[in-house]
Amino acid sequence: MVDAGFWVLAVAAVGFGVAVFVVDSMARATFALLASFLCVGGELLLVGLSYLGVLIVLMMIMEMLVMVVFMVMYMMNPAGLMPMTMTHNARGALAISAGAFAALAAGIFAAPWPERAGRPPPDPTFALGASIMGPKMLVMMVLGVAILATMIASVVLATSRGRYERGRDDA
């Protein structure tokens, strides 16, 4: 059952990834990209990498929602829903991407993969978190709060009425 779920999510991730370049609006492309990332996060959860799976799901949801907010604020195209072309020089891009895919796929089969040295740790999630964060945990927590404050401030500053105009009646 886990194998079937993995392959369903893999096909869905690729399908949504293709949809990013097929749909004709920025908003639809953003949500297709979000769906693709959610499928990848689900795959990581299925293979037992809970920390990375949850991290990808949470990060991508917030990232894509912030991207949609900025898209609505700054695009001439209201909400990014008006049709537009998402590709330029489609033949050249297809040739380059097919060549890059073929080179990377050949590299997978031609590379001398090393044998596993040692055994996996008893708790891979804790080991990964300790190796990534280590003594920098406080710095990462402060950066997270700073990024959150920046997102909130940019949304507040982008509204049509300012911070001090809440009590006024413009009618």
The string over 52-88, giving b where at least 16 C-beta atoms fall within 10 Å of a residue's C-beta and e elsewhere, is bbebbbeebeeebeebbeebbeeeeeeebeeeeeeee
Q: Tens of pLDDT along 15-46?
A: 999 998 888 777 788 889 999 999 999 999 99
Using CA atoms, how far apart are residues 16 and 22, in angstroms rounded to an integer?
10
pLDDT at 170: 53
pLDDT at 2: 85
pLDDT at 17: 93
pLDDT at 127: 84
pTM of the model: 0.53
Average pLDDT rounded to a whole number, residues 123-140: 81
Q: Please say if the pLDDT value at position 76 is more than 80.
A: no
Confidence of residue 102 (pLDDT cuts 50, 70, 90): very high
Q: Tens of pLDDT along 140-171?
A: 888 889 999 998 888 888 776 655 665 555 54
Return the top range by mean pLDDT from 43-52, 99-108, 109-118, 132-141.
Answer: 99-108
| Of the candidates 69, 137, 64, 122, the residue with the CA atom closest to the CA atom of residue 56 | 64
Write down the domain spans for the chain. 1-82, 124-162
Average pLDDT rounded to a whole number, residues 81-85: 66
pLDDT at 16: 95
Using CA atoms, how far apart are residues 82 and 75, in angstroms rounded to an integer?
11
Q: Check residues 171 and 101 and name the one with the higher pLDDT.
A: 101
Average pLDDT rounded to a whole number, residues 87-95: 83
Average pLDDT rounded to a whole number, residues 73-96: 73
pLDDT at 105: 96
